[in-house]
Structure 1
Amino acid sequence: MAYPYQIKSIEEYQQNYQQSVIDPEGFWANVADHFYWRRKWDKVLEWNFKEPDIKWFVGGKLNITENCLDRHLGTLGNTPAIIWEPNDPEERHRVITYRDLYNKVCQFANVLKNNGVKKGDRICIYMGMIPELAIAVLACARIGAIHSVVFGGFSAQSIADRIQDAQCSLVITCDGAFRGNKDIPLKSVIDDALIGCPSVKKVIVCTRTRTPVSMIKGRDLWWEDEIKQVETMGNPPCPAEEMDAEDMLFILYTSGSTGKPKGVVHTCGGYMVYANYTFVNTFNYQPGEVYFCTADIGWITGHSYIIYGPLSAGATTLMFEGVPTYPDAGRLWSITDKFRVNILYTAPTAIRSLMGYGLGPVNHKELSSLKKLGSVGEPINEEAWHWFKDHIGKGRCPIVDTWWQTETGGIMITPIAGVTKEKPGYATLPLPGVQPILVDENGKEITGNGVNGNLCIKFPWPGMLRTTYGDHERCRTTYFATYENLYFTGDGCQRDEDGYYRITGRVDDVLNVSGHRIGTAEVENAINMHAGVVESAVVGYPHDIKGQGIYAYVITERQTHDPELTKKDILQTVSRIIGPIAKPDKIQFVSGLPKTRSGKIMRRILRKIAEGELDNLGDTTTLLDPVVVEEIKRGRL
């Protein structure tokens, strides 16, 4: 499959970039022309950032699965679409060709239809990293149902919040999941979640771990039994539902600076074009290359760069059920050699964690098939960048350090593999169609190079979020109200002398832990649910492996006799309410918090103490009780 919009040189990049700024509509119409549309659009773009109201390919009709599956059958039918590597290296891997995948997606789409699912229904998917997860996602898209994938590490309460917000009518899950040396009881977590979710009428359960589960008559169905029913009907094809370019494709929940997770909405047409364009260009993807993204499909990286981007490009995408350190710290390198992987896209957290094991796990691996490396989730620090480049890429593979967000739908600022000159720690340059701008606190543009500011985007791109589900005002206030006529990313950024962008981290109350965004308010709410807690404040601090760790300052009702036990109880509470991913790394018990006279917690001071900057706290005279700061400093962990 050829990609006429693929950039092959830095001159071509500059040309494309200029064109995308001068005539964005012409630029994106040209890219979108290379997809299969049931009906072409009447207008490329309608937009204003005030409302916000953004529409791409207005009037266009399509189905994203026809672009990911049907259009490849004639030329790539027997080509591997998905290679699946199980958690246990002794278990057999699976190779699913484009034809197999098409058949399985149609089959499961018919299962959904048999169970009353219609266009526009919301479906919650809570599964481990098995091919059936990708099949379920695509089956929803095929019939026009809106999928909401929830990461398999979230708690029952977190799932319930997401199901209730989207009013999901059906849940797709597994009996359990394998992750490293753990068995995760997915179905029993779903059972707990559904106690308060009357909107859910059916639960389809795929067998994976053979964990005993409770199956409730009339509600719970086995995936395998439902497939058999479709087989007895003679496996009829499932025509793809015609979707408007602006119809909802999926909701993906992300943490915000308030306690309630927000459902980021992406639509069919613009998201498809953008996920494909960014995949093909960032990784300089060549037909036949084996591409391995280590993310979980529960996050946006898995949506855009395991499923929709690669499959719409006719690529071979590798899915891995396990973790990089199981059964040993050489697992990713073993998989790379086993399947002759050409492109490896992973997170700085994984790289830093593997660096800690030394070169022993790498030394006996060949890694000669690798051509390109990528990093995602947070800015990669220089030390990890060099280790990745030297020991995994053997000094010959370009690294793409990609910056983007759940809300952007796809990669925004990144080197193009083999085209852009790299600089460790820098996301380098915006992709064509992306117009970044740095502003000061008042929203005034900071021009020139060698400057720092808050990163905003001044013109729409096709993959951007359209709203937050059921709460458009929240979308407006979070992303479009801070600075007039700009999309505010929430990130600070430096533009150096070469015009290269370096992301310097969040400037709002959101933490970036192992590449996953977690709202401080969400963690504080969970800690405050613990019976003995009066109040808490959460900040981030530098963490060698995770990038950012979670530091919690906690006030308890009375002096704790056993602080260690109380800490364990608090961690258990956070795990139950959000999931293990949000557990604080440090909990410091305090008698009070630094507050202004109006009662606002001064997190700036707490952040500096957590980071060890004890002598550089700034002005504390405006605090209600400045003495409390000295006590917190003395008790710092």
Structure 2
Amino acid sequence: MAESFDVPLVEEEKFYLPDPSYKQQAWTKDYQKAYEEFLADPDGFWETQAKQLEWFKPWTKVREWNYPYAKWFVGAKLNITYNCLDRHVANHRRNKVAMIWRGEEEGEERILTYQKLFHEVCRFANGLKKLGVAKGDRVCIYMPLVPEQVIAMLACARIGAVHSVVFGGFGVNALNMRIKDAEAKVVITADVAIRRGKTIPLKTIVEEAVVNAPSVEKVVVLSREKENPVELHREMEVDFYDLMKGVSTRCEPEVMDAEDPLFILYTSGSTGTPKGIVHTTAGYMVGTYYTTLNVFDLKDTDVYWCTADTGWITGHSYVVYGPLCAGGTVVLGEVTPDYPDPGSFWKIIEELGITIFYTAPTAIRMFMKVGEEWPNKYDLSSLRILGSVGEPLNPEAFEWFYKAIGKSRCPIVDTWWQTETGMQMITTMVGEPMRPGFAGKSIPGVVADVVDKSGKPVEPGTGGFLVIRNPWPSMLRTVYKNDERYQKYWDTIPGCYTAGDLAVKGKHGYIMVIGRADDLIIVAGHNIGTAEVESALVSHQAVAEAAVIGKPDPMKGNTIKAFVILRVGFSPSDKLKADLTYHVRMTLGPIAMPSEIEFMDKLPKTRSGKIMRRVLKAKEMGIDPGDISTLEE
């Protein structure tokens, strides 16, 4: 890890200032004042946010901090679904639309009010109880982006079961690993997902993944194909809606301690094995509620669409828990931005009158590629807030998003945060000057900084390492069954949480996030561990050794290139490249597929045997590899 580095800065003097009315109407009307109030009394700040929610028993202490371990709202009792559902059903939001779901086919739409969602969650929670699921049990959810996925998540939280949602694009091995590590008692899936007019079998993947997963007692299957219904193996499998038959629409919420785990979410790591990030109940609830309300400036009349899949942290925090706690109307879509044509997103925005649109830079760059012709076909005047998440939003994409979609009037909240942080940490709050290329500043409640290896703040315009200096409510509590990996977040740079990202702090205090400092590749907003892809390649009979790097790509942010050494008896060929690509697809899923494979006789390594991926990347990019003194001869 270098001390710091110099970077070419974008034009920091360039900024856009939204109409003053945005600031006048925002929940956070004065960023600087709010931030100073937080710094003066951090615990009081977070207590104010927490008091907006409902608790079964209040806390005795806002925060308990024994570096690097935190407890928030100590002694409090609650259930997050009570705040997502019950409190709305008990007041004027009972018949408010909680969720609108859109599918790919014309006319595919489902609408659930808060009352309807409440009843469905309670019914499925009672169904899970019939299967013997109880507080503390782990439940794996491997489903497409349909309302039942959200119902399953909330039902788990209702009864105190810990959910582990796995993205439906992962393959057998990735799913098996996550099931086994979490020791899931039940797996919830669907027969198929639907993407670009094609059905993708999920149940068959689950059938393979539960082999050698002895903790699994039952598999719950949502049957979507009515004409060719999937056959269930009744000794192990049960139909999703059969489980809900004959049960009450009432299910008393499990009383949870503030620090009881809410969910485990696996994220790629640089050591090969994905990390099971553990989030707890109270702090996560407060953090996601507060940021949804203040970063998006969510009003009761808004129609809000976050395009993320709930298999990722963005879907957990800003499709499910944050917006529902805040009483929002949430849009879900099992849709892709360019199917059946590049107008699919804009059509939904027009038809549903969406006011807040939160998407990924990958999608924005795809929109840029096809041009303004498509969004110009639709009425996007309902939009008032635009958001970006998943990776840095480059200045060109910012400009296009702001002008072509927001018509130079909608504030853009370019958010930086992680699976580990649970909530948004850095952005430009609504009403503040927006600087293309810079995510923004720490939100009130967060102390982010850019530092050198020793933890000393770097000079403006100099690159360094992005860190968080103080604990925050929705921070991860540990890595499941591997607390040493949790401690590394706080041990890498003294006195700080190290995010693993490189960044620059400009002279105005705005932070530009450059990308990962470790062996992760962000492909279309998804974190892919280099070691995971390398392990998948080496598991093929032809491969002796492999290394992968990320290559900058104007659409996806990065693509994956693999460098492969073959075993004796195998020869390079286009056929073998195709076989290896397919092997990775079947092992990890399509998001981890290499776009290029190069066969090599040897890989650059240190004298201790560690592959020097940066040397491969430097050669690929035609740049200086830097210090190679540790490279073996």
- Per the TM superposition, whether the score is higher than 0.5 is yes
Task: State the SS of the aligned residue for 1:196.
Answer: coil
Post-superposition CA distance 1:568-594 (Å, at most 9, x none): 111111112211111111111111111
Name the amino acid aligned to 1:42: T
* CA displacement at 1:96 relative to structure 2: 0.6
Q: Alpha carbons of 1:410 and 1:573: their partners in 2 closer, same or farther (altered >3 Å)?
A: same
- The 5 Å alignment of 1:501-520 reads 501-520=511-530
1:252 alignment partner in structure 2: 265
Name the amino acid aligned to 1:427: A
Task: State the SS of the aligned residue for 1:259.
Answer: coil
Rounded to whole Å, the distance in 1 between the matches of 2:95 and 2:603 is 62
Rounded to whole Å, the distance in 1 between the matches of 2:491 and 2:584 is 31
Rounded to whole Å, the distance in 1 between the matches of 2:352 and 2:415 is 24
Q: Alpha carbons of 1:66 and 1:10: their partners in 2 closer, same or farther (altered >3 Å)?
A: closer
Q: 1:83 aligns with which of 97, 100, 109?
A: 100
Whether contact under 8 Å (1:120, 1:144) holds in the other structure is yes
Q: Alpha carbons of 1:9 and 1:125: their partners in 2 closer, same or farther (altered >3 Å)?
A: closer
Rounded to whole Å, the distance in 2 between the matches of 1:45 and 1:228 is 43
TM-score of the superposition, structure 1-length normalised? 0.93
1:14 alignment partner in structure 2: 32
Rounded to whole Å, the distance in 2 between the matches of 1:482 and 1:201 is 40
Q: 2:334 aligns with which of 321, 325, 335?
A: 321
1:598 alignment partner in structure 2: 608
Name the amino acid aligned to 1:605: V
Note the residue ranges of structure 1 that are not aligned, 5 or more in a row.
Answer: 1-5, 626-637
Q: 2:165 aligns with which of 139, 149, 169?
A: 149
Task: State the SS of the aligned residue for 2:420.
Answer: helix
* CA displacement at 1:620 relative to structure 2: 4.4
Task: State the SS of the aligned residue for 2:466.
Answer: strand
Q: Does 1:69 align with 2:91?
A: no
Name the amino acid aligned to 2:467: C
Q: Alpha carbons of 1:8 and 1:566: their partners in 2 closer, same or farther (altered >3 Å)?
A: same
Name the amino acid aligned to 2:389: V
1:635 alignment partner in structure 2: none
2:244 alignment partner in structure 1: 227
Name the amino acid aligned to 2:329: T
TM-score of the superposition, structure 2-length normalised? 0.94
Name the amino acid aligned to 1:426: F
Q: 1:31 aligns with which of 24, 31, 49?
A: 49
Task: State the SS of the aligned residue for 1:408.
Answer: coil
2:478 alignment partner in structure 1: 467
Rounded to whole Å, the distance in 1 between the matches of 2:265 and 2:25 is 30
Q: 2:391 aligns with which of 378, 386, 391?
A: 378
Whether contact under 8 Å (2:306, 2:319) holds in the other structure is yes
Q: Does 1:218 align with 2:235?
A: yes
* CA displacement at 1:411 relative to structure 2: 0.4
Q: 1:345 aligns with which of 358, 362, 376?
A: 358
Rounded to whole Å, the distance in 1 between the matches of 2:395 and 2:192 is 38
Task: State the SS of the aligned residue for 1:366.
Answer: coil
Name the amino acid aligned to 2:494: E
- The 5 Å alignment of 1:483-522 reads 483-522=493-532
Whether contact under 8 Å (2:303, 2:331) holds in the other structure is yes
Q: Does 1:431 align with 2:448?
A: no
* CA displacement at 1:214 relative to structure 2: 4.0
1:617 alignment partner in structure 2: 625
Rounded to whole Å, the distance in 2 between the matches of 1:322 and 1:164 is 30
Q: Alpha carbons of 1:204 and 1:506: their partners in 2 closer, same or farther (altered >3 Å)?
A: same
* CA displacement at 1:559 relative to structure 2: 7.6
* CA displacement at 1:92 relative to structure 2: 2.9
Rounded to whole Å, the distance in 2 between the matches of 1:623 and 1:43 is 52
* CA displacement at 1:386 relative to structure 2: 1.3
- The 5 Å alignment of 1:253-268 reads 253-268=266-281
Whether contact under 8 Å (1:7, 1:13) holds in the other structure is no
* CA displacement at 1:217 relative to structure 2: 2.3
* CA displacement at 1:177 relative to structure 2: 1.1
Whether contact under 8 Å (1:511, 1:520) holds in the other structure is yes
Name the amino acid aligned to 2:43: E
Whether contact under 8 Å (2:28, 2:34) holds in the other structure is no
Name the amino acid aligned to 1:221: V
Rounded to whole Å, the distance in 1 between the matches of 2:569 and 2:370 is 40
Name the amino acid aligned to 1:41: W
Whether contact under 8 Å (2:119, 2:249) holds in the other structure is no
Rounded to whole Å, the distance in 1 between the matches of 2:422 and 2:370 is 34
Whether contact under 8 Å (2:156, 2:162) holds in the other structure is yes
Q: Does 1:567 align with 2:580?
A: no
Q: Does 1:420 align with 2:432?
A: yes
Whether contact under 8 Å (2:120, 2:151) holds in the other structure is yes
Rounded to whole Å, the distance in 2 between the matches of 1:289 and 1:136 is 25
Rounded to whole Å, the distance in 1 between the matches of 2:458 and 2:539 is 46
* CA displacement at 1:437 relative to structure 2: 2.2
1:631 alignment partner in structure 2: none
- The 5 Å alignment of 1:114-129 reads 114-129=130-145
Q: Does 1:130 align with 2:139?
A: no
* CA displacement at 1:595 relative to structure 2: 1.7
Whether contact under 8 Å (2:521, 2:558) holds in the other structure is yes
Whether contact under 8 Å (2:76, 2:258) holds in the other structure is yes
* CA displacement at 1:95 relative to structure 2: 1.1
Whether contact under 8 Å (1:551, 1:610) holds in the other structure is no
Whether contact under 8 Å (2:28, 2:294) holds in the other structure is no
Q: Alpha carbons of 1:45 and 1:436: their partners in 2 closer, same or farther (altered >3 Å)?
A: same
Q: 1:209 aligns with which of 225, 248, 253?
A: 225
Rounded to whole Å, the distance in 1 between the matches of 2:29 and 2:266 is 39
Identity among equivalent positions (%) equals 50
Whether contact under 8 Å (1:188, 1:214) holds in the other structure is no
Post-superposition CA distance 1:297-345 (Å, at most 9, x none): 0000000000101000000000001211111110000000010000100
1:362 alignment partner in structure 2: 375
Q: Does 1:187 align with 2:203?
A: yes
Name the amino acid aligned to 2:318: Y
Name the amino acid aligned to 1:215: L
Q: Does 1:99 align with 2:115?
A: yes
Whether contact under 8 Å (2:27, 2:297) holds in the other structure is no
* CA displacement at 1:48 relative to structure 2: 2.6
The 10-residue stretch of structure 1 (21-30 or 341-350) with the greater mean CA deviation from structure 2: 21-30
Whether contact under 8 Å (2:452, 2:458) holds in the other structure is no
Name the amino acid aligned to 2:450: L
* CA displacement at 1:30 relative to structure 2: 1.1
- RMSD value, Cα: 1.7
Name the amino acid aligned to 1:333: W
Q: Does 1:482 align with 2:492?
A: yes
Whether contact under 8 Å (1:276, 1:309) holds in the other structure is yes
Post-superposition CA distance 1:2-46 (Å, at most 9, x none): xxxx99388722122112122111110111011100000011111
Post-superposition CA distance 1:183-203 (Å, at most 9, x none): 110111100101111111111
Whether contact under 8 Å (2:223, 2:229) holds in the other structure is no
Rounded to whole Å, the distance in 2 between the matches of 1:401 and 1:147 is 28
Post-superposition CA distance 1:342-362 (Å, at most 9, x none): 010000001111222223322
2:63 alignment partner in structure 1: 45
Rounded to whole Å, the distance in 2 between the matches of 1:622 and 1:56 is 44
* CA displacement at 1:558 relative to structure 2: 4.2
Task: State the SS of the aligned residue for 1:204.
Answer: strand
Rounded to whole Å, the distance in 2 between the matches of 1:329 and 1:430 is 35
Task: State the SS of the aligned residue for 2:44.
Answer: helix
Rounded to whole Å, the distance in 2 between the matches of 1:366 and 1:250 is 39
